[in-house]
A and B are shown apart, each in its own frame.
Chain A
Amino acid sequence: MKNGPLSLLFHSLVVAFMLAPLVVVCLVAFTPTDTLQVPWGDYSLRWFRAVFAHGDMVQSFWNSLGVALVAATLAVLLAIPAGLAIARLDFPGRQALNGLLMSPLIVPHLVLGVAMLRLFALLGVRGSSMWLTLAHVVIITPYALRLMVSALAGSDRSIEQAAQSLGASRWTTFRRITLPLMLPGITGGWMLAFINSFDEVTMSIFITSPQTVTLPVRMYMLATESIDPMLAAVSALIVGLTAAVMLLLDRLYGLDKVLVGQQ
């Protein structure tokens, strides 16, 4: 069935609504003035230069990048064996374990943030970037795990059985058959985990210290104090970076599959 003109009008409005704030942020970033205006005619890169001259902002970017790179890698390393066990093996407590590993999608990040703040305070590790990274691992593992499990669920188990009946050891079967089957789940899961860690603000705001402040937390704190076009320039850079990762994800894996889940 075709969409009628009314449907298409509705659709255009929804698309405009979804894109409006992102487009406006990117336009405002190029303003030559000190105000948050969309520039007409005059464009300037002065606010982008201001971002790179802002030492705290640059430091926060590196903090975020480091945390997200390490956390996404650790999350995938945890999700490979866990996903294998959940998707391929049947054992008592499997459902409960799956529920626990998926719980960061259900327990609000805010609650996890204050809970970890308490833990870190008792352990005396507030401001440690290692513990911040571990906290990120917890909240991004569900994304990696979900892709891992769906990659395995969608693959044919009889190939593994064939390999074993032909005399391959369990390790060889894993290395030569199962791991390649999981590869799309691993790359897609890593990137999705990376983006979610890089964007995380609600939990991080409670457990970062002035030295470990991540980029979204820095932006949040700046935006609650004073708003100038420099924030628009940072936002535009983030939108650009996200778009680049998104295109990569789409090429490698199909973005609709990553976000909607495999059917």
Chain B
Amino acid sequence: MKPGRTLPYALVSPALALFALMVLLPLALTALLSFQRFSYDTGVQDGFTLSTYANMLGDSYYWEVFGRTAWIALLTTLLCVLIGAPEAYILSRMGAPWRSIFLLVILAPLLVSVVVRAFGWGLVLGPTGFVNQFLEWVGIGRVRMLYTPIAVVVALVHVMLPFMVIPVWTSLQKLDPQVENAALSLGASRFTVWRRVVLPQVTPGLLSGGLIVFALSASALAIPGLLGGRRIKMVATLIYDEYLHELNWPLGAAIALALLVVNLAVMLATNAVLEGNYRKRMG
């Protein structure tokens, strides 16, 4: 096929036009909005000001919310690594019918609305839910989990786990089981095989999975909104309140851009590590 020089652009132009209008333009408008003045009496005004950012950086409340969001997202990522990586490994070693059945069981919740899953965790972790009934039965007594970070982290891990299993599973597919067998037959312990053969193979998968999990957890809205309540304020619920309750759009825009910048920075840093890792292994 020898296409004309304009053919590719003609093919992509409808999608490009939509994305320019609905992604690039709105993001630019939001960036502008974050520099506009605001007062509770007159709303958004014209003019340029840095005061929104200055107030945000100077107020410990925003640091606290960003800090809480960061540790909840990091804890979620860590738990997803600790649960998702071994689970992907176990799945990859299963026999023919079970492997795809259980892969579906792990991945299928991905397709169910996050609101349904958050609501489900509300029922499981609530004061009369299964977990508390069990705790009472073993004599520990009820524990308040709803509207605490516990419920938020548990539900986030549930929602994010498939995003960790998928890339680890993908990198395990490229691992030849004969290499493991060779290492074992040459006298390596199972732990050594795992550390020297399996782990290096899945490291790129772990990093890219961890990246997705962290980015999505840090910007999740429905789960902290439904399971965190008013007290466990995270960046996403803060932005929601500024836009839809306080109606202070410039402040909401500034927080949203800060979230976007932090997310992109984490992604670029992880990508750099990933590529460096790849180059090193390629020699």
Contact = CB atoms under 8 A, between A and B. Distances in A.
B29 interface: yes
A117 interface: yes
Interface in B75-114: 83, 86-87, 90-91, 93-94, 100, 102-114
Contacts of A117: 243
Nearest to A97: B12
Interface of B: 1, 3, 5, 7-12, 14-16, 18-19, 22-27, 29-30, 33, 83, 86-87, 90-91, 93-94, 100, 102-124, 126, 128-130, 155, 158, 161-162, 166, 169-170, 173, 177, 180-181, 215-216, 218-222, 225-226, 236, 239-240, 243-244, 249, 252-253, 256-257, 259-260, 263-264, 267
Given A111-B219, A202-B222, A263-B170, A89 B256 contact: no
Contacts of A89: 1, 3, 7-8, 11
Nearest to B100: A256
A161 B2 CA distance: 10
Nearest to B249: A118
Contacts, number: 270
A256 B110 CA distance: 12
Contact of A7 (B1, B23, B90, B257): B90
Interface majority SS (helix, strand, loop, mixed), chain A: helix
B169 A37 contact: no
Interface in A196-213: 198-199, 201-202, 205-206
A233 B239 CA distance: 30
Contact of A108 (B107, B122, B169, B215): B215
A224 B231 CA distance: 14
B8 A85 contact: yes
B112 A22 contact: yes
A53 interface: no
B66 to A, nearest CB: 14
Contacts of B256: 110-111, 114-115
A247 to B, nearest CB: 10
Given A78-B15, A81-B14, 20 more contacts: A11-B90, A14-B87, A18-B109, A21-B121, A24-B120, A91-B9, A97-B16, A100-B16, A107-B27, A112-B26, A119-B22, A135-B22, A138-B23, A141-B18, A199-B114, A223-B119, A242-B108, A242-B111, A246-B108, A250-B104
